[in-house]
Amino acid sequence: MSLPIGVLISGRGSNLQKLIQTCVPADFPAHIKLVIANRPDAAGLQMAAKAGIATAIIDHRKYGSRTEFEDAMSATLRNAGVEFICLAGFMRLLSAGFVEEWQGKLINIHPSLLPAFKGLATHDQALMAGVKLHGCTVHYVSAKMDAGAIIGQAAVPVLHDDTPQSLATRVLEAEHRLYPACLEAIIRGEIRFEHGKVVSPASLRRENEKLLNF
């Protein structure tokens, strides 16, 4: 059994590329069914097409309201048979209606150790705060920005000569390990979303759990 997933992007989607690679082996329990971009020029669209994955452009500027835009996305995802959504650099806030419709089936990766540094420019925020550890977080999406239940986190060192760019590069390497690990843990039932919280059944093995916090 292979779970059909949809990926929402706004730009190049480096995490999309990693998810595509992750799903290549036939024994991986998911495959990417559809990639949707809210911008016609999103570079990730070419990347997906090159990998033989169906793509769609749903341009938010062509819809009168956020709800209409999100309804169009939901309909397109359902028509394609998508059962689970990964955000990969998707730059639109999602409203409560969409989030509830896909509750427990909608995850995102954020480039900070939440709850620290929500929002944009997280690497600048981290350097300004002078932290020595920074990282990334995979979480279920809630209607409150970057505040959904946390699935996994990975830390990287901040070095004294770091720029926002050098730090972003280091965090991105961690993102590319963490996002597939979290996706796989969900699909294999090792973690679950219940009543707004992430729960792990007793069957979760320690060695697997350690992939979710490194």
Interface with a copy of itself includes 28 (CB under 8 A)? no
Cα–Cα distance, 209 to 108 (Å, whole number): 19
Closest-CA residue to 138 (of 181, 197, 190, 90): 181
CA-to-CA distance for 61 and 88, rounded, in angstroms? 20
Query: Residue 213 interacts with a copy of itself (CB under 8 A)?
Result: yes
Q: For residue 37, what are the β-bridge partners?
A: 9, 57
130 binds a copy of itself (CB under 8 A): yes
The amino acid that residue 72 corresponds to is A
Q: Does 103 participate in binding a copy of itself (rule CB under 8 A)?
A: no
- Indicate if 110 belongs to the active site: yes
Task: Verify binding: residue 180, a copy of itself, rule CB under 8 A.
Answer: no
159 binds a copy of itself (CB under 8 A): yes
Q: Which of 60, 110, 123, 195 is catalytic?
A: 110
Give whichever of 20 and 185 is closer to a copy of itself, judged by the CB atom. 185
Q: Which of 164, 106, 108, 159 is nearest to 137 (CA)?
A: 108
Residue 213 CB neighbour total at 10 angstroms: 14
115 binds a copy of itself (CB under 8 A): yes
Q: Are 100 and 140 in contact (CB under 8 A)?
A: no
Interacting residue with a copy of itself among 150, 167, 171, 181 (CB under 8 A) = 150
In 3D space, the residue among 17, 15, 188 whose CA is nearest the CA of residue 111 turns out to be 15
Nearer to a copy of itself, 64 or 130 (CB): 130
Q: In terms of CB distance, is 77 or 138 closer to a copy of itself? A: 138
Alpha-carbon span 2 to 31, nearest angstrom: 6
121 counts as binding a copy of itself under rule CB under 8 A? no
- What residues are labeled active site? 110
Residues at the contact surface with a copy of itself, assessed by CB under 8 A: 113-116, 129-133, 135, 137, 149-155, 157-160, 191, 197-200, 204, 206, 209-210, 212-214
